[in-house]
């Protein structure tokens, strides 16, 4: 499960090979630094992979088979909770086993969407949320393409509150329409 081998193309920081890294440290200042390193590792990996969901029992780097170490479940929860506290994650379930990793804030995604719309002369037209978020024609290659639906929806809602877009109810959230105002 967690102890799957790390592909050789994934360069991990040197501290990932240090056995004490996989044990929550009892000294507060040391633990703060340890959690900071875990946060950085989680955020860099998720951003590089374009992945926004973290499952505590499936994320590969909570273990290092080369040194026979795995961060215990309570340690994994503390790492994710530190991401939540810093504003970089949200728990997705009450059992706290799955988190949404926010390596880009909804505000950053909103700004990216708006820039893309302006740069491509798309204001004034109506698109489905799916077309913009994950469609295979319009936004392929855009840095927001494939964004997790919850974050994408929040970004669109930000643009709507700013008066730069209008959301229209469709048959589903992905089928909702979005129109960007011409002078956005």
Helix (H) or strand (E) holding 55: strand 53-55
Predicted local distance difference test score (pLDDT) of residue 175: 83
Reported as a pLDDT band with limits 50, 70 and 90, residue 32 is: very high
Show contacts of 161-166: CB within 8 Å, 24+ apart. 162/110, 164/114
Please say if the pLDDT value at position 25 is more than 70: yes
CA distance linking residue 89 with residue 160, whole number of Å: 23
Please say if the pLDDT value at position 2 is more than 90: no
Predicted local distance difference test score (pLDDT) of residue 11: 83
**Mean pLDDT (the chain, rounded):** 91
CA quadruple 29, 83, 9, 106: dihedral, nearest 10:
-140
| Average pLDDT value for residue range 19-34 | 97
CA distance linking residue 182 with residue 46, whole number of Å: 34
What's the pLDDT tens digit per position in 135-156? Answer: 888 999 999 998 989 899 999 9
By C-alpha distance, which of 101, 71, 59 is closest to 84? 101
What's the pLDDT tens digit per position in 61-97? Answer: 999 999 999 999 999 999 999 999 998 999 999 999 9
Please say if the pLDDT value at position 52 is more than 70: yes
What residues are paired with 165 via a beta bridge?
180
Is the CATH number of domain 106-180 1.20.1090.10?
no
Reported as a pLDDT band with limits 50, 70 and 90, residue 184 is: low
Please say if the pLDDT value at position 109 is more than 50: yes
Domain parsing of the chain, residue ranges = 14-101, 106-180
What is the third-level CATH fold of 14-101? Arc Repressor Mutant, subunit A (1.10.10)
Residues constituting the chain: 184
69-89 burial: b if 16+ Cβ within 10 Å, else e: bbbeeebbbbbbebbbeeebb
Nearest 5°: the CA angle 4, 104, 181 is 140
């Amino acid at each position: 499960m967690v102890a799957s081998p790390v592909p050789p193309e994934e360069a991990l920081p040197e501290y990932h090979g240090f056995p004490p890294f996989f044990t929550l440290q009892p000294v507060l200042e040391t633990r703060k630094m340890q959690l900071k390193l875990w946060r950085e590792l989680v955020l860099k990996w998720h951003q590089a992979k374009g992945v926004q969901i973290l499952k505590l029992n499936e994320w590969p780097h909570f273990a290092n088979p080369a040194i026979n170490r795995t961060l215990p479940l309570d340690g994994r929860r503390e790492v994710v909770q530190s991401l939540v506290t810093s504003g970089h994650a949200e728990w997705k379930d009450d059992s706290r086993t799955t988190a949404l990793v926010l390596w880009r804030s909804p505000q950053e995604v909103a700004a990216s969407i708006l820039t893309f719309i302006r740069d491509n002369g798309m204001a004034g037209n109506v698109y489905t949320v799916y077309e913009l978020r994950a469609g295979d024609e319009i936004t392929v290659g855009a840095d927001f393409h494939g964004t997790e639906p919850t974050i994408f929806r929040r970004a669109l809602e930000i643009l709507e509150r700013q008066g730069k877009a209008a959301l229209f109810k469709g048959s589903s959230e992905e089928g909702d329409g979005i129109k960007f105002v011409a002078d956005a």
